[in-house]
Amino acid sequence: MSVSFKLDDHQMALQGLARDFALAEIRPVAAQYDKSGEFPWPVVKKAWEVGLSNLSMPEQYGGGGLSGLDSCIVSEELAFGCAGIAAGISITDLACIPIVLAGDEEQKQRYLGEICSTGKMAALCVTEPEAGSDVSAISTTAKKSGDDYVLSGSKCFITNGSVADYYVVFATTDKSMGQKGLCAFVVPRETQGVTVGKKEDKMGQRASDTSEVVFQDVLVPSANRLGAEGQGFKLIMQTFNRSRPAVASSAVGLSRAAMEYSLEYAKTRSQFGMPIIFNQAIMFMLSDMARDIEASRLLAWKAAWLGDMGLDNAKEAAMAKVTAADAAMRITTDAVQIHGGYGYIKDYPVEKLMRDAKVLQIYEGTSQIQKLLIMRSMLK
């Protein structure tokens, strides 16, 4: 397939649908959910009704069947509305990537089919108190017991943790084997021994749910294991290669919102007898924003496109994630600066954007970890 920067009719329709939804359904309630920290159920349900959920799941199970690139386009628009609410809408799709990649036909029909047809939610459970960047240090155990496994351990910082119906859980069958001991399981929330712990009170993206999930002697049938034993680490990395371009695109959407608010403000705010936009210092901040947004979007699209072509995109996915996340932090910080004192006040939207941007440098692998991954690819 040749490279084109022109979106086709289907992609433009999708972009329009997501942008209209962001402006009509997300933006008007973004500040309210940021303040309350409640989960935005009405918006998430509506997104499912209009077909903006489960977009990358295959069509035969009721998903949108979208390519990685198409998902980036939607992701940017939803985060343009509010990155926290966008996470609530799209994390189920992300959490189910291991099922799409490693699930057998029966598992796909059962889990993806049910999630797509009912709007049920899922969460991806990787991180633990002692295993963050170092995924191979996971210590949630999966002990074989006849035809079942017994899962025990605690997961922290889990997006959708307290609202999910299904958990995709990474655990170790043998901790001494490090990354070679990992494997993944689908665990329904109602299974005995599963409890939702503390819901985190966050700096930003407060509409998204982030909670602890505890598994205590949870009996899981072997039929719920995704792929073979020992394949878990590879599966997490493959999952991140698919999810990072979309996360980068959400950073682009958030950055675009910050740039638009800043441009508008700079044109209307006057000091020293003229709009502040006529100061070169302000112009340069705005032009840097536009440049960073364009560069981040192109990296995200390229990383997604490589994945869609079935090519290795580990390096490009990491490049897109770190570039877009770091750009979002710079852009939102400058947006507050352009707004002066008003930018620091909650009545204006940019202080929320700055808080929302920070976690983009942390989740789905920190910016430092993305740089390590890029370097590792260069050394290959």
Catalytic site residues? 364
Rounded to the nearest whole angstrom, what is the least distance from the CB of residue 98 to ligand FAD in the complex? 12
* Binding span for ligand FAD by CB under 6 A among 36-44, 178-186, 276-284, 359-367: 359-367
DSSP for 103-151, written as a single string: --HHHIIIIIHHHHHH---EEEE--BTTBSS-GGG---EEEEETTEEEE
Closer CB to ligand FAD, 213 or 286, in the complex: 213
**CA–CA distance, 127 with 124 (Å, rounded to integer):** 9
The neighbouring-strand residues paired with 243 are none
Q: Does 31 participate in binding ligand FAD (rule CB under 6 A)?
A: no
Closer CB to ligand FAD, 227 or 275, in the complex: 227
Q: Does 333 participate in binding ligand FAD (rule CB under 6 A)?
A: no
**CA–CA distance, 263 with 146 (Å, rounded to integer):** 63
Q: Does 210 participate in binding ligand FAD (rule CB under 6 A)?
A: yes
DSSP for 279-345, written as a single string: SHHHHHHHHHHHHHHHHHHHHHHHHHHHHHTT---HHHHHHHHHHHHHHHHHHHHHHHHHTHHHHTS
Q: Does 283 participate in binding ligand FAD (rule CB under 6 A)?
A: no
Residue type at position 299: L
Tokens 């108190």 sit at which residue?
Answer: 129
Q: Does 37 participate in binding ligand FAD (rule CB under 6 A)?
A: no
Interface with ligand FAD (CB under 6 A), residue from 127, 224, 239, 243: 127
Q: Does 23 participate in binding ligand FAD (rule CB under 6 A)?
A: no
Report residue 133: phi and psi, to 5°. -60, -35
- Give yes or no for a contact between 168 and 176, defined as CB atoms under 8 angstroms apart: no
Closer CB to ligand FAD, 6 or 380, in the complex: 380
Tokens 């509010």 sit at which residue?
Answer: 82
Q: Does 359 participate in binding ligand FAD (rule CB under 6 A)?
A: yes
Closer CB to ligand FAD, 112 or 373, in the complex: 373
Q: Does 140 participate in binding ligand FAD (rule CB under 6 A)?
A: no
In the complex, which residues of this chain contact ligand FAD (CB under 6 A)?
123-127, 132-133, 157-159, 202, 205, 210, 359, 362-363, 365-366, 368-369, 372
